[in-house]
Structure 1
Amino acid sequence: MDRTRLALDFAPVLPPWLLALLAAAALLALAPALWRRARGAWWRALAFALILAALSGPRLVEETREVRPDIALLLLDRTDSIGAAPGRAAALEAAREQLAQRLGRLRDLEVRTAEVPEGGNQGSRAFAAMERALAEIPAARLAGVFLLSDGQVHDAPAAWAPGPEVPLHLLMPGRPGEVDRRIRLVEAPGFGIVGRAVELKLVVEDLGAPRPEGTALLTIRRDGAAPVTETVPLGREHTLSIPVERAGPNVLELLAEARPGEVSDANNRVVLNLNGVRDRLRVLLVSGEPHAGERTWRRLLKSDPGVDLVHFTILRPPEKDDLTPLNELALIAFPVRELFQVKLREFDLIVFDRFANRGILPPSYLRNIADHVRLGGALLLSVGPEYVGGASLFSTPLGQVLPARPLSPTQAILEGPFRPRVTPQGLRHPVTEGLPGANAEGREAQWGRWYRTVRAEPRAGSVLMSGAGDAPLLVLDRVGQGRVALMLSDHIWLWSRQHDGGGPQAELLRRIAHWLMREPELEEEDLVARVEDGRLLATRRSLDPAPPPEAVVTAPDGTESRAPFAPQGGRAVLDIPAGAPGLWQVTDGRRVAFAAAMPANPPEWEDLRADAGRLAALVEASGGTARHVGDGRAVPDLRRVAPGRDAGGANWAGLRQRGDHTVTGIAALPLLPPWLALALLLGVAVIAWQREAR
């Protein structure tokens, strides 16, 4: 828009300092005459004034300007805290529309709109969004900023960067004096030892309440189990003792009862993951008849820093009698009673490596081991020819928990080269799924050959690997609350020596041992869920090759929906949006998994009140205003204010008149050209001479 402006300007002939000296000299010359009130003194002063005016070069300048409109920035908060309280989002949207209409009616004003997106764990990044918007607005045209937010901003700077001439007006939903109850976690461990309790420290507090006194009911729910209720004091730290009952993720949900009249109960709930880990595992390894791979299991277990290993090796069979003195048979006596009766329950895993029953362990001790397995212990047997015949452990009370019966001595031992193979069931089991070099999708195994298989008839469990003649090679089984693994060959040590190319010996043995010790990642029948980046991810594992059923998903508000699993080998994956914070539940009809969709102490949920406390200093420094809109409160009137004037009042908000422009043309008219100045000066001089001559 082009506009014309008239202004008085000066184009002095002499430098300003010289003009000032001439003016001072004129005053000195006139002072005596003015003091004596001499005739013609004022005409003489007028003559000096004409001389100084002529030397100053006064002129009337006419400028043609291209005026640019001022810009008002409208910033709308779209973070999660706006949607936490009922009606807030609608109130801010209505305020935005009304404000945009009023701004549109103002002359020479352009309106720019931007939004504050959800910042996740960083909270509301309103000023980061403002900086991005201001980067496209010339600073000389910025008339003011309107921030429509609840005031809970987490990146407020120490000073208002645009300066005091640019007012910041904060428009908040709701009403003054709001109250909000929340749970604030003081100390929340991310993991705990299975079988022990962890301490969780929290504070239930009422923000905005004049005197937060009394108590509140706190409901504690773990993995969707029956809730437990506890009374906690308001405003004071409270400690909860949470027992860790199983390894892997334990989802805890804490819910404080709602306070009457509070803004929202969204932050009355905290959902967090407590990862259960096992303490150092105690393993008892008993090696029987010496053989080439005897140290395989010892090396594996000793390499794990989380394992305490007790290892005994039977170097001399009892039936051998060569009159060697008893004090030379062993460094220490074999503590049979202490290990298999007194301290048996202290071991998480018992390993027998080619151990034959030659009277070393009485039947009562072997029965103790079987009972220990049924009550939750773990047993691993790596067998050779000793598994066949009368000395076999299968012929003892321990045979009741073993998953495979050896065939007759004439049929049980197969001698000859073969390459171990993973069975179809093993391709789905986490212990053998994805082993490097395994047979899969029509290709043969790339592993080195073994040379002996102990043939046995499976009675229970899962056959994951097969040997010569498709005989079972690796069998895993669950017995009562415990687990058993049976390796029907003693030649796995060949892989560690890289014989015929070797194989994944360490990885396979590690997986077997960890499955026996109930590592959650190796559960063959399991359903786990988690929430990442606003999406619910659930993984279902099963040995059943049938298509997985539909998943039933329960949102935090209790809404149920169905979604299909996508098969991926031995797994099935579910991936759906999960925007609502809280506890999500997924079930396949047999198992149930829980996922927490809210981090502990998220900044966005710390305080749900609409309050200007965080931004009060910036609003005041900018000369702007902070007020509530909605809930019966209207958007303030708008005014254009000149620089230096107040930019806000009780019921109005102001925008600076910046007047940014570009001069497109200039026309100058001299007000005292030389010919006119000379004529006027001569006329004044003649009049002054006549006055003085009288």
Structure 2
Amino acid sequence: MTASVILSPLVPWPVLWGLAAFAVVLLALAVWRGLSGWWLRGLTAVVVLAAIANPSLQEEERAPLSDILLVVVDESASQGLGDRAAQVEEAIAGLEAEVAGRANTELRIRRFADGAEDAGTLAMTALAELLSEEPRARVAGAVVITDGQVHDVALAPNMPAPLHVLLTGEAADWDRRLVVKNAPAFAILDEEVMLTLRIEDQGAAPGVQDVDLTITVDDGAPQTYRVPVGQDLDLPVVLPHGGMNVLQFATPAAEGELTDRNNAAVVQINGVRDRLRVLLVSGEPHAGERVWRNLLKSDASVDLVHFTILRPPEKQDGIPVTELSLIAFPTRELFIEKIEEFDLIIFDRYRMRGILPMSYLENVAQYVRDGGTVLVAAGPEFGAVDSLWRSPLADVLPVEPTARVVEGGFRPALTDLGRRHPVTEGLEALAPEEGWGRWFRQVDVVPRAGQVVMSGPGDRPLLVLNRVEEGRVAVLASDHMWLWGRGYEGGGPQLELLRRLAHWMLKEPELEEEALTAAAQGQALTITRRSIAEVPPGDVTITGPDGAAVVLPMPEVGPGRFALEWQAPMMGLYRLEQGDLTRVVAVGPSAPREFVETIATGDVLEAVVTPTNGGILRLEDGVPDLREVREGRPAAGRGWIGITPRGAYVTEDVRVAPVLPGWLWLLLVAGLAVAAWLVEGRRVGRKPSVAA
């Protein structure tokens, strides 16, 4: 039972304080005038003010409440390194034993794992949640068992009692990690891009100066270099192809380091072309020539060089050559010296008229074999005696003309192979309701190699694609594609077809006939396989960063397209294999956030612990004892941590009674007032003595 005095004034507090000030003034006046009963007057005023304050005696029946010790246990991935898990369980057992020996203390334990989406160790979030579930007045202390690598320190709650950190790990731990400090998301093909890498040793490292660094681009052959430790390494890289390029960097695991999960890094750089350099060679003038030129010139990313024959040699009209052009066209420079600089060469209804020497066309054929690309848009001249077929370029062309030209309206159609081929797959969905517009002329050709993806009247080959050694060739056996561009009878997907055709010829990965691709969204992996083979591809094998492999079937989702979605069990680098195709994809960072910093340290949490008078102790020195300390005193020392007794209670009963009854207050006031009157009256009745 506890008792206390409470005041319930009969008048507002400002009035009461005003009366007290007035009484003080009167008392001072009485003292100044020398009244003998001033002290009785003062007592009278005090009793009057006390009576107005209406004091009461409050008695409470209280039941004491026990103190609570909060314990937050870090069970993130980094806590599985070394013997940290055993240290955690030993610490919990020791705290449970300490608390069990105290009659007025309870224990609350909250365990937490890795944060979602690689958020890392969220120890302060777990502590705040646990603290919110308990009355703050009963919390006598908190303990966080962790390796100290906490990623939400800014969310630390305001603690009402000491906060302690028990560090797992060993002082002799060390780890090596590979850090990519600078890597762009995009890079221009054939231009050098600079990456900055760094290999760091943390903790009690052995002091190695140089280590091996292995670099792998996509799934190519790895290359190993000797690089220094602890220094920034500038690495120039030229991307080998357009689209996504996956660069893997790794250093071998060293004996004694905590983990090799952070010894590798993955950089994904999207290779883009600065500008597409196109050489358009126009032969016989026709209605579609301007369409080709306008189409290519309308794209700001295309650098177009247009070589056209305005007057064939057989046309002799007496006009000097110098009056037909401002400068001589640099044919030698284009077809001999700088041909390798072009990404695509288009022959639009070109016929052999002796303008381009055979050696130039032989050079074009070699340009294809070395990796170049050529598109032939053929007209009636393709089957004539001066056809490109009768030049050295015939060695790389996939078709042979029959000299027949089919006249009459027809609608181009996709072949069965064309419905699966990435260049033409899905184009039918872009047709208007009445279907594609008609064309009116096609050159009859016989395919010798390659893939027929579009056909004309009588299922004659219309668009044929072929690979020639390192290069690619496409033949369009009609000069009427321009009708689609003009919107005749609804037109057709001219722009989309030419865009895909150009990207296929430029070897863009997303338009390869046989391709295995993957995209990661969080930990969800979407795997896509494209194939033009008649037999569906088999299962895909997925090998995770821990070496575990899983084999999954890939259902067909469209003509020539197979896909599946799979939830990756962990962050890291995954290798996909299907037949002779392989693909590497990174799910999240190559090293999860938990493994970026692995050395146990109290530096991160020091700013949170110090204001609470708590301490940071290593569990390798043993589980500390639990002691009671007064509030505001240091709560940690060598081998011990402290909690502050809170003295919390719950009030079960309250009784309130006046200190004095009203009649007694009145009696006291009257008695003191009469006494003051009597004392002062006697003094007034006495005569002053006269000195002799």
Relative to the length of structure 2, the TM-score reads: 0.84
1:296 Cα offset (Å): 2.3
Match of 1:597 among 587, 591, 595: 587
1:509-520 to 2 correspondences below 5 Å: 509-520=498-509
Match of 1:667 among 655, 662, 674: 655
Q: Which residue of 2 aligns with 1:462?
A: 451
Q: Which residue of 2 aligns with 1:525?
A: 514
1:59 Cα offset (Å): 5.3
CA distance in 1, matches of 2:364, 2:658: 117
Amino acid at match of 1:264: T
Q: Which residue of 1 aligns with 2:36?
A: none
Q: Which residue of 1 aligns with 2:643?
A: 654
Contact 2:522 2:588 in 1 (8 A): no
Q: Secondary structure at the match of 2:417?
A: coil
Same amino acid, percent of matched pairs: 44
CA distance in 2, matches of 1:323, 1:587: 67
CA distance in 1, matches of 2:295, 2:142: 66
CA distance in 1, matches of 2:647, 2:111: 21
Match of 2:441 among 452, 460, 478: 452
Contact 2:161 2:643 in 1 (8 A): no
Check 1:175–1:515 CA distance in 2 against 1; reply closer, same or farther (3 A cut). same
Contact 1:438 1:446 in 2 (8 A): no
Q: Which residue of 1 aligns with 2:574?
A: 584
1:618 Cα offset (Å): 1.1
CA distance in 2, matches of 1:376, 1:314: 27
CA distance in 2, matches of 1:10, 1:463: 102
Match of 2:287 among 285, 292, 302: 292
Q: Secondary structure at the match of 1:316?
A: coil
Contact 2:614 2:641 in 1 (8 A): no
Check 1:590–1:259 CA distance in 2 against 1; reply closer, same or farther (3 A cut). closer
Q: Which residue of 1 aligns with 2:341?
A: 346
1:480 Cα offset (Å): 0.6
Contact 2:124 2:157 in 1 (8 A): no
1:473-488 to 2 correspondences below 5 Å: 473-488=462-477
Amino acid at match of 2:327: I
| 1:248 has 2:248 as partner | no
Q: Which residue of 2 aligns with 1:624?
A: 614
Q: Which residue of 2 aligns with 1:554?
A: 543
CA distance in 2, matches of 1:490, 1:516: 20
Check 1:78–1:676 CA distance in 2 against 1; reply closer, same or farther (3 A cut). same
Match of 2:147 among 146, 150, 163: 150
Relative to the length of structure 1, the TM-score reads: 0.83
Q: Which residue of 2 aligns with 1:426?
A: 418
Q: Secondary structure at the match of 1:309?
A: strand
Match of 1:188 among 179, 183, 191: 183
Q: Secondary structure at the match of 1:301?
A: helix
Q: Secondary structure at the match of 1:657?
A: coil
1:208-219 to 2 correspondences below 5 Å: 208-209=203-204, 214-219=209-214
Could you list the runs of 5+ residues in structure 1 that have no partner in the other structure? 31-41, 690-694
| 1:220 has 2:215 as partner | yes
1:11 Cα offset (Å): 6.2
Question: Which sits farther off after the overlay, 19-28 or 369-378?
Answer: 19-28
CA distance in 2, matches of 1:102, 1:312: 91
Amino acid at match of 1:424: D
1:462 Cα offset (Å): 1.0
1:46 Cα offset (Å): 11
1:19-34 to 2 correspondences below 5 Å: none
CA distance in 2, matches of 1:306, 1:55: 93
Check 1:398–1:128 CA distance in 2 against 1; reply closer, same or farther (3 A cut). same
Q: Which residue of 1 aligns with 2:406?
A: 414
Check 1:479–1:103 CA distance in 2 against 1; reply closer, same or farther (3 A cut). farther
Check 1:272–1:106 CA distance in 2 against 1; reply closer, same or farther (3 A cut). farther
RMSD over equivalenced CA pairs, Å:
4.3
Amino acid at match of 1:88: R
Q: Secondary structure at the match of 1:427?
A: helix
Amino acid at match of 2:537: P
| 1:502 has 2:499 as partner | no
Check 1:242–1:109 CA distance in 2 against 1; reply closer, same or farther (3 A cut). same
Q: Which residue of 1 aligns with 2:397?
A: 402
Contact 1:401 1:484 in 2 (8 A): yes
CA distance in 2, matches of 1:532, 1:90: 35
Q: Deviations over 1:153-193 (max 9, x none)?
A: 233239x6525x33323233213464332223232233434
Check 1:94–1:379 CA distance in 2 against 1; reply closer, same or farther (3 A cut). farther
CA distance in 1, matches of 2:83, 2:567: 24
1:57 Cα offset (Å): 6.5
Amino acid at match of 2:264: R
Contact 1:10 1:59 in 2 (8 A): yes
Contact 1:152 1:611 in 2 (8 A): yes
Question: Which sits farther off after the overlay, 392-401 or 485-494?
Answer: 392-401
CA distance in 1, matches of 2:54, 2:632: 32
Amino acid at match of 2:611: A
1:402 Cα offset (Å): 0.9
CA distance in 1, matches of 2:406, 2:610: 90
Check 1:370–1:24 CA distance in 2 against 1; reply closer, same or farther (3 A cut). same
Match of 1:565 among 554, 575, 578: 554
Q: Secondary structure at the match of 1:485?
A: strand
Contact 1:495 1:503 in 2 (8 A): yes
CA distance in 1, matches of 2:603, 2:517: 42
User: Across the two proteins, how many residue pairs are aligned to each other?
Assistant: 671
1:103-142 to 2 correspondences below 5 Å: 107=104, 109=106, 111=108, 113=110, 115=112, 117-120=114-117, 123-128=120-125, 130-131=127-128, 139-140=136-137, 142=139
1:571 Cα offset (Å): 1.7
Contact 2:571 2:590 in 1 (8 A): no
CA distance in 1, matches of 2:368, 2:305: 18
